[in-house]
Structure 1
Amino acid sequence: MQKNNEIKLNYYLSPLSFLYGIGVWLRNRLFDWNVLHSEQYSIPVICIGNLSVGGTGKTPHTEYIIRLLKDKYRIAVLSRGYKRKTSGFILADSGSSSLEIGDEPFQMKNKFPDILVAVDANRRRGIQNLLSLPEKDKPEVILLDDAYQHRYVHPSLSIVLSDYHRLFYHDKLMPTGRLREPINNINRTDIVVVTKCDKDMKPIDFRIIEENMKLRAHQLLFFTSIVYGEIEPVFPSEARSLNHKAIEKEDDILLISGIAVPTPFIREAEKYSNKVLPAIFPDHHTFSKSDFKKLDTTFEKMTSPRKLILVTEKDAARLKNNPLVPENWKKSLYYLPIVIQFCNGQSFDETIKKHIITFQKNSTLQNKYE
């Protein structure tokens, strides 16, 4: 079980956290008092967010909901497109790049080409643009990526994620810790999902977390763990298919990571080989010419005949259309996809589906009697 003292906190920055907390408190009160206005919409808007900064697994959880709903509803994902080189509203198409829409929206558009993926820092404007599409293209459900703090939109359902190894109730406000807002603001959400759970968790571990969260009666709690898929080539036309079981313990792996929490990725790679060399970059890192030069020098020094470069799925999205990727990498560059697995997945699925059906039914009745 994760202990509070295992989380690194910068207590010397507590005065800044106090001032930051005052600002967050005031902003939230302005929404609560209707001084600042939250807009509701005529279709289900499901927000997937968190209380903390990054690393809780929003993208794989958003993808889980896409898989759950896409065969029955027209789905749109709306993100701000973090670190993209563009601004304003953009509706992704088959030619969109990660530089235009951001790495996570690019990843989702490539995985699910039939859904709508849009980016806009102004979520309210983004939703309005999506609802202005022709009737045949207009979404029936919108998934808001990382928008729990974007209170100008009032979602029909909110889901907050919390990393099992850094549970929000053990954390502190930025910059002392990683919380974007105080822990009591968890009360705004409908669902809490504890992510990245260890496979050997016992029933008592689940109960302890549930008790410590002190959720309200209507709030639901779920638990998920990461499941790694088969290794995939970043450039399929250049590299051979590769099963991780074919990797030998003495094969060199240059592991490149630009995600918030790379530890599980590193541990997974170390199951395949004894010679894993991690190269860790900040979350959403844009790889530069000098980065590639240093990494290529390191890779060239590796001596095993079947050496390879392994990246995260999110990093692969940035590398696919990066012209700076060395040509000699393309036959050796692979990524490791992940999906999430619910400990009580059927119940979660039913909750999401029921919400949409109930929302649409209530919306129909409301329109009928207006």
Structure 2
Amino acid sequence: MTKEQPQPVRVNPWLLPLSWIYSTIVFFRNKFFDWGIFKQEEFDIPVVCIGNITVGGTGKTPHTEYIINALKDKYRIGVLSRGYKRKSKGFVLATPQSTSHEIGDESFQIKRKFPDVIVAVDANRRRGIRQMLELENPPEIILLDDGFQHRYVKPSYTIILSDYHRPVYEDAMLPAGRLRQPVSALREANTIIVTKCPADLQPIDFRIISHDINVFPYQDLYFTRFEYNKYLLPVFAGAAHKLPLEALESKYTLLVTGIASPKLLMDKLAEYTSNIDPLVYPDHHNFTKKDIKRITSRFEETLADDKIIIVTEKDAMRLVSMDDISDNVKAHLYYLPIEVVFMDKENDFIQKIDKHVTENQRNRRLYKK
């Protein structure tokens, strides 16, 4: 089996004039921050930004969860995001009763998996951090989810994610390509992580990508891949039991996705069954009653006796709050959890973050004295 290679990046040449205009706007916006015309706010707490310079999924939520898992027993963690496509406004502090409509699907997913983590949403990140620091038990570290473009906050540590399958150094600015910031913005990162790598990446590939990204001496570069769980989990607790992936061999599988890149999940399921019926929605899709009706009809109209509906973990967070899903669909609705696996220097990455938080806290104590 040959190693999976990144596909050539598709850039629309007809839109390049618009990209030049967009690039000019981004250039002057960045310069206004650099010159101090637009003011950045720095906080007396470690603020770790986890972002990217492209549109589309690079794996911010799984990497945020990875950091939470590594640090949650040592620090009181706060996670602040915009709460993309939520129905609420302003600052919202997540509670066990919060829904994805109130705080967005990523924040809902994190709060559901890590109930002790302080999760909040606010499009105004400065206000959001201030509100979190005014809590009775404020966080000791804040993870700023997708905050790289929000330059009004100056993070103490920046992590930029780049998709292996769409190298940023081959891309173009919006709208011809998918870059929200120029490739030169990578120099702002303390750490760059190439995500979604194939499992059989070789040392020579690490060196080639490192050269192409042009990592600076003050930066760290890591490579991660996604690893799916061996079991499918029910979306609705109590409606069903977890299933091993091997059980898919004899099942009709309706795969429903509303994420940027469903290919990885499709490829994984294809290892266990060839009977996959995909129903693909746009990224961050908010499922409606009409969508539920379509999914239900598609599922119930198949003549197969043994059948299942599989969704992504993010989509599961959107669906679990919906009231108009039939009991029959609930009983057959599963999702496949995903986790981040570092391909090298895993301990080094966590130690860097841990050291940053520890030194920041030490400096705060010395400053207060």
SS in 2 for 1:68: helix
Read off the aligned partner of 1:223 and give its amino acid letter. F
State the alpha-carbon separation in 1 of the partners of residues 5 and 314 from structure 2: 29
5+ residue gaps, structure 1: none
Deviations 1:110-161 (CA, angstroms, capped at 9, x unpaired)? 0000110000000000000001111xx1100000000001100000100000
Corresponding residue for 2:226? 226
Deviations 1:314-361 (CA, angstroms, capped at 9, x unpaired)? 000000011132332011000011000011211111111111111112
Deviations 1:54-109 (CA, angstroms, capped at 9, x unpaired)? 21000000000000111111100000000000110000000000000000000000
CA shift for structure 1 position 293: 1.8
CA shift for structure 1 position 5: 6.6
Read off the aligned partner of 1:16 and give its amino acid letter. L
**Residue range with higher mean Cα deviation, 285-294 or 201-210:** 285-294
1:129-168 aligned at under 5 Å gives the runs 129-134=131-136, 137-168=137-168
Q: Which runs of 4+ in 1 moved over 3 A?
A: 1-5
State the alpha-carbon separation in 1 of the partners of residues 357 and 167 from structure 2: 29
1:1-370 aligned at under 5 Å gives the runs 6-134=8-136, 137-229=137-229, 230-248=231-249, 250-343=250-343, 344-368=345-369
State the alpha-carbon separation in 2 of the partners of residues 4 and 273 from structure 1: 25
State the alpha-carbon separation in 2 of the partners of residues 54 and 75 from structure 1: 26
State the alpha-carbon separation in 2 of the partners of residues 31 and 324 from structure 1: 47
CA contact (8 A) 1:240 1:331 kept: no
SS in 2 for 1:176: coil
State the alpha-carbon separation in 2 of the partners of residues 9 and 329 from structure 1: 40
Read off the aligned partner of 2:242 and give its amino acid letter. S
CA contact (8 A) 2:254 2:310 kept: yes
CA contact (8 A) 2:310 2:334 kept: yes
**Residue range with higher mean Cα deviation, 96-105 or 345-354:** 345-354
CA contact (8 A) 2:233 2:241 kept: no
State the alpha-carbon separation in 1 of the partners of residues 204 and 259 from structure 2: 31
State the alpha-carbon separation in 1 of the partners of residues 189 and 22 from structure 2: 22
TM-score if structure 1 supplies the norm length?
0.96
State the alpha-carbon separation in 2 of the partners of residues 288 and 148 from structure 1: 31
TM-score if structure 2 supplies the norm length?
0.96
State the alpha-carbon separation in 2 of the partners of residues 346 and 306 from structure 1: 44
Deviations 1:190-246 (CA, angstroms, capped at 9, x unpaired)? 100000000111100000000011122101100000010121000121123312122
CA contact (8 A) 2:4 2:198 kept: no
CA shift for structure 1 position 4: 7.7
CA shift for structure 1 position 267: 0.7
State the alpha-carbon separation in 2 of the partners of residues 290 and 253 from structure 1: 21
Deviations 1:30-63 (CA, angstroms, capped at 9, x unpaired)? 0000111111111100000000012100000000
CA shift for structure 1 position 247: 2.4
CA shift for structure 1 position 3: 7.0
State the alpha-carbon separation in 2 of the partners of residues 7 and 292 from structure 1: 34
Mark the CA change 1:189 to 1:113 in structure 2 (over 3 Å): closer, same or farther. same
5+ residue gaps, structure 2: none
State the alpha-carbon separation in 1 of the partners of residues 117 and 276 from structure 2: 37
CA shift for structure 1 position 305: 2.3
Across the aligned residues of Structure 1 and Structure 2, the Cα RMSD in angstroms comes to: 1.3
SS in 2 for 1:154: coil
CA contact (8 A) 1:196 1:226 kept: yes
State the alpha-carbon separation in 1 of the partners of residues 72 and 58 from structure 2: 23
CA shift for structure 1 position 287: 1.1
